[in-house]
Amino acid sequence: MENEIQQLVDMGATVNQARAALRRYNDVMEAAERIFDGAFDDIPDESSDTPIASAGQQPRGLWYTFFHTPEEEDNTYEEAAGSGEDDNEDDEFVNYDSDYEIRDDTPNAQVDIDPYAGIFFSKDRREEVIEVEEEPETVHISGISERVKLMTQNQWMKGCPEGGEQGFLFSLYSQLIEGNCPCPSACGYSIPRAKSHFFAVFPSFEVYINQLRGIVRQKCKRCFKEFCFACGEPINGPKIPELATVSNDHDLFHCSNLQGIILGVGLAMLEQLYHDQLQNPLGHENKIRTSKRRKTDPVINTSMILDPDDDDDSYISSSALGKKLKVGIGYAGDQKEDTTGQAEAQAMQQSKDEKLGKLMTQLRVFLPSLRRPGGALTSDYLVHPTALAHLRRRFNNICSSLLRNDSLTDMSDRSSVYFELFEWLETISNHEALASMMAMPIMVVSSVRTHTPKKAANGTLPLRERTIIYEGSTGPRELLESIVIQANAAIKGLEGIKPTEIVPVEMTEEQKRVNNDTKGKAKEISMPSLSEENQKLLGFCQRILTTADAIDRSLRETKGERFLERIQESLPKIHTANSTSNEVFVDVEASDEAIRQLYIDWATRVRFEYCDLTVSPPADKPVTQDEPPNYKFYYNTEARMLASSDIPKRSLAIAKELAVLTTNLPVAWDSSIFLRVDETRVDIIKALIIGPEGTPFLFDIFLGHNYNQLPPSVKYMTTNGGKFRFNPNLYADGKVCLSLLGTWAGPGWVAGKSTLLQVLISIQSMILCEEPYLNEPGWASSSGTPQSMAYSANIRRMVVKTAMLGNLKNPPEPFGDIIRTHFRLKAQSISAQLDQWLSQDDGSPTVNDGATSGRGSQGGSANGLQTDIEELKRVMKQLQDASISISTSTSSSH
């Protein structure tokens, strides 16, 4: 009994109140409800010094969080944190979440400490759970034509890797599937419970709610008092007609037991619907389960409700391993894209989204909300311990899948689902009992192992057990931030071309007179007009930002400023021209694996950035407001001609492009793409594409006046002043031959559908080809020939001289820090590759365009390759020495 008393004390009750409540009610939940209803307010506490659980002391099992109500003072945390009281009693509670690590290394904490400073939301978690598959029962229920399945205990608890949550789920399920519910007046009357009362899986959520509404309010046949069939407590007061839009009355919000049941069963229905839509996109039978997998996160489980007939590997999605293309000319062949059936697919997706959105709306009504229209109800204050468990294991499954969508355009087109998703996120974050879920890692299935079925007694079907490994992955708030980045980029694109801010200069007396004469006649600058489609995308983006702001505001109010700061520090960010240096330095003792991971983390962080690409005007010739600036850009003339253009379709296309590019540029140890976009002219872009073994190639890209009805303009800039042709598809004059650009055979640009990202990846594939000689028309079958080998050797000499050494000694703007860090991190790998290239060189002189006709002695150095390699290694060594010096000084300072 002492454990139960401590639980109630941790909820906020006094010791005497807890004892009195437990003497009358054997169940902790029932006792807690009556205490918070005020039934024991008249009981004095003999031990006024007994410490009450507070957030200044880390709450055991998060019970305090569940039962914190608005009546409690907001400064409870700070008062308790500064009290200096210690809880010396043995901790017999199980932590609600095993990813919480309590640290007590600050005994002299200040009043303003963060009460959550010892709580870690680490994604480096791994939990193993054995789940048993049970054959579901079916029953006949009046009013339903077909037999209804009953939710098994395994389905009720499926997807829950947390020990504490499992206990709560099991307790609630066991309580409500059997036994009797006695009349609370102790008259001796009771009503037997059955599994079909609360755990029947009806064809629709509306039918399920109507079924509950018909059985929740029971009337004693002896004393004629009404009581709740879920908790056994009296239901006081009549039904409330004005709540008809929510339920028929307040009965379904009477107790936390009902809340746990409705959320559990409702979320299971929601997840099953979403799962069916994913697995049967065309409405056909399909048992192959797939899911998109990020490089940095475990696979997202989209099958919490599992078919026992599925094969073991149906849980896991295997990602195809990337391979270098032997030839990389982008799209190959003359076939055209088949666009038939797209309208049908879109209509089908819209129908699915409407069903999913409708169910989400119906179920959201039952989420705990202290901001409920008409006022909060009982279950809004007394949140059941399983509420967070249901949301973390079922809603997070859907939430994470939707938030991993790479296309902001697709999200906008599916607004019926995404707007509802944002409502869920805000509602969850607004309640203190649930808000921490926004920062918690999402536990997803990483592997499943099926055991040999065990023999069952009485001739029943054998039980099938599975060992499921759960791993932590990115939490909801962090996932949302990737969407926020896309939304901000899209809004920047929709703003169109911004006028350049003119730095004021001292005017002459004559200029002042002219200025006074023209006062009031200056040209007004207005924002570009938005078409209906543009306005739709803008509204969707603003809704995303509103949701993120609302979540952060709620977290600040419920968890504190320090808690929010910790979350903000972990979120992905887009660097800008005002950001700190993008360069990183290597620890002298770092392993190869650590360096590779450092490179990927760094490249992911800096792959996209806004910057200033304008050319500063001469000091003696200030720029006027009407004169567009010049840019460090090949297409400077074209860009200046569009300085005052307002083209809504173009703005919409650019907005969609930026949204995708901010978070989807490919990053890898072998090859990455970096973009720099002018902060006021988002149609002006520079790209740095890393080619074979660390070779950086520069491209200038302009999104012209008819983009994206026509492809972008792309110019290859790494040409040694227009002398070197590095590839049959990359000319010395900067021309890029690619089918998407209309300069190469094969499927071309599809207006309104093709993207800049496709162009970039196609160029990347072309550069990464093993034998560029094969890209030349008519030479595709010449793999391994002397001509092809000689061509590659010639290109390698140009690569070392210009793309490597030239770029490192004189890095092109604005990629100086990118190129330096790239060569610093990959110095060892590039040095080994240079040695191999030197050994493979044929000694022939470098030819600016095409393969050499003659071959020299193997490994010769008369062509200057050896000299260039030695100088390149020396420059990389200087970069490494600087890195070691900084690393050493940093270590000594600590």
Residue 699 φ/ψ, nearest 5 degrees: -135, 140
Sorted by sequence, the CB contacts under 8 Å of residue 764 that are 6+ apart come out as 328, 666, 671, 673, 689, 691
Cα separation, 606 vs 584, in Å, equals: 11
Q: State the Cα–Cα distance between residues 271 and 305, nearest whole angstrom.
A: 8
Q: Which residues of 746-756 are buried (b: 16+ CB within 10 A; e: fewer)?
A: ebbbeeeebbb
Query: What is the DSSP secondary structure assignment for residue 499, as one 8-state letter?
Result: P
- The C-alpha angle 770, 771, 772, rounded to 5 degrees, equals 115
Strands, E assignment, 313-376? none
Q: Identify residue 286 by its one-letter amino acid code.
A: N
Residue whose C-alpha is closest to residue 61's, from 4, 120, 10: 10
Nearest partner of 354 among 418, 298, 308, 302, judged by Cα:
418
| Whole-number Å distance between alpha carbons of 785 and 438 | 59
* CA–CA separation, 415 and 544 (whole Å): 11
Other beta carbons within 10 Å of 862: 11
CA nearest 414: which of 405, 427, 425? 405
Q: Answer for the pair 190, 232: CB distance below 8 angstroms, yes or no.
A: no
Pairwise CA distance, residues 837 & 839, whole Å: 5
Query: 746 forms bridges with which residues in the sheet?
Result: none
CB of 840 closer than 8 Å to CB of 762: no
DSSP state of 318: P
What count of Cα atoms within 13 Å lies in the side-chain half-sphere of residue 333?
3
Run of H or E including 609: strand 608-611
How many angstroms separate the CA atoms of 209 and 351, rounded? Answer: 23
What is the rounded CA–CA span in Å between residue 854 and residue 713? Answer: 37
> Which of helix, strand or coil describes residue 719?
coil
Query: For the residues of 825-889, what is the DSSP string, one character each?
Result: HTHHHHHHHHHHHHHH---PPP-SSS--SS---TT--TTSHHHHHHHHHHHHHHHHHHHHHHHHH
> CA 873, 879, 880: angle at the middle one, nearest 5?
85
Neighbours of 106 (CB within 10 A): 10
Length of the chain: 894
Which amino acid is residue 781, in one-letter code?
A: S
CA–CA dist 29, 4 (Å, integer)? 10
β-bridge partners, 127: 470
- Residue 595 tokens read as 């360096």
Strand extents, DSSP E, 402-456: 442-450
Query: For the chain, how many helices (H) and strands (E)?
Result: 30, 17
Q: Please report, for residues 52, 309, 597, 854, the alpha-carbon distance to residue 459 in angstroms, rounded to integers and kept in the order given.
A: 54, 20, 55, 84
CB hemisphere CA count around 331 (13 angstroms): 21
Q: Burial-class residue 863 by CB neighbours within 10 Å (0-12, 13-18, 19+).
A: buried
Q: Of 181, 541, 737, 769, which is the active-site residue?
A: 737
Amino acid, res. 417: V
Torsion 371-375-381-386 (CA) sign: negative
Contact (CB, 8 A) for 496 and 651: yes
Look up 220 and say whether it is catalytic: no
User: Active-site positions?
Assistant: 737
